Structure 1
């Protein structure tokens, strides 16, 4: 074992390559939570517009940022390589969800079933929405994880709040900058796209900041159980790095 880290004196420091090959006690549970919240926030929350205090927003925004919090936890506790596995798992799960929704919605309804219109309204999505969701998620999550991992190296593992909020600022900016133009440009005015894009980005970053105490609790609990501190030294940060090289 190597020397303890600056940020966690009771934990042993390991590099990202070692972390990628290590068996962790709770990694599978965190990955399952990440994918589940990602799918549910897109499936259940994305179809409803809510209004609180005169501000209209997609209801999914209340829960989708939680996937970014878990993404922060994955990178902080288990390293970029393991977070990369989770992003790809979530990406392919979203592809399957979109495919399944398309097939089920397109199937001819039974003559006695009267819920087709409501079903299409909830589960039907245009190809632009699907493409926007997949592209924005993939890019935003990888940017978020990359920035957090690099900031951890730069800060020596200190100032977790700065790393989580800073990575979310950049990651959510990439997410919003891709999603809204791809999904709505040409359907909405440029002003509407820009307004919703900036508003939702701000709300997501604020939500991340509010959840910072929760992030600290979860990160500290997981690190104490796993017994190591992962720093992504000498790691290939390409999203397409093969498993054997991570």
Structure 2
């Protein structure tokens, strides 16, 4: 029978969500009105969900170790993307080089912005979750999960958009208005996704606590 280690699966899912978000997050799609969202919206909340599941079962030190691994993966991705873009193309690939640079060049900037946001938001998520657990015990997992996610995702979204989309040639007031129009709706959307994923946290904790 096909069997995998549960912790291995969660770590693999965590890294998958990070890497795919970095590589494909540059694409946006329309949601409603003039508001659009990155395709990464479907994956980013899972990162915080996995964080909370592992923290609830194994504690913050185990989660911090996984966060550090995730950070290293982003650094490796940035480094390899830079190398891949700048290596000379063969004659056969030359017609596609421009498109390749456009796609993965954007990914480098997004990855750098994400690296900064990821580092701060992930540790903040664990910090808030653990502080609330100390105060509340094992009660109200739904509240601890969502409160930590809301706080962490606000910082993640704000820092990411600040570094990824701040225009140095525009005045501060113009940048703030533009960024607020991106950050607030996107953060609210992330919060809604987090709420809908709450049953997954309960299911994940119960599943992980069972014998492998």
TM value normalised by structure 2: 0.88
Greater CA drift, 186-195 or 33-42: 186-195
Distance, in Å, in 1 between the alignment partners of 2:105 and 2:146 is 34
Tell me, which stretches of 5 or more residues in structure 2 are unaligned?
none
Cross-structure match for 1:225? 211
Residues 43-62 of structure 1 aligned to structure 2 (within 5 Å): 43-44=23-24, 46-54=25-33, 55-62=35-42
Shift of 1:215: 1.5
Whether 1:202 and 2:202 are equivalent positions in the alignment is no
- For 1:37 and 1:180, the matched residues in 2 are separated by 19
| CA deviation after TM superposition for structure 1 residue 179, in Å | 1.2
Counterpart for residue 87 of structure 1: 67
Greater per-residue helix proportion: 2
Q: Deviations over 1:124-145 (max 9, x none)?
A: 1376533321010011011001
Query: Which residue in the other structure is 1:105 paired with?
Result: 85
The 1:126/1:66 distance shift into structure 2, 3 A limit, reads closer
CA distance in 2, matches of 1:131, 1:146: 23
1:177 Cα deviation after fit = 2.2
For residues 52 and 182 of structure 1, what CA distance do their matches in structure 2 show? 23
Decide whether the 8 Å contact of 1:140 with 1:172 is kept in 2: yes
> 5+ unaligned residues in a row in structure 1: which ranges?
1-24, 227-246
CA contact (8 A) 2:21 2:44 kept: yes
Query: 2:64, 2:135 → 1: CA distance?
Result: 20
Q: Which has the higher contact order (CA 8 A, sep 6+)?
A: 1
Runs of 4+ in 1 over 4 A off after TM superposition: none
| Separation of aligned partners in 2, 1:111 and 1:127 | 25
Q: How does 1:1-246 map to 2 (within 5 A)?
A: 26-44=6-24, 46-54=25-33, 55-113=35-93, 114-125=95-106, 128-186=109-167, 189-225=175-211
Deviation larger for 185-194 or 131-140:
185-194
- Number of equivalences: 201
What is the distance in 2 between the residues matched to 1:225 and 1:138? 32
Q: CA deviation at 1:40?
A: 1.1
Give the distance between the partners of 1:53 and 1:186, measured in 2 at CA. Answer: 25
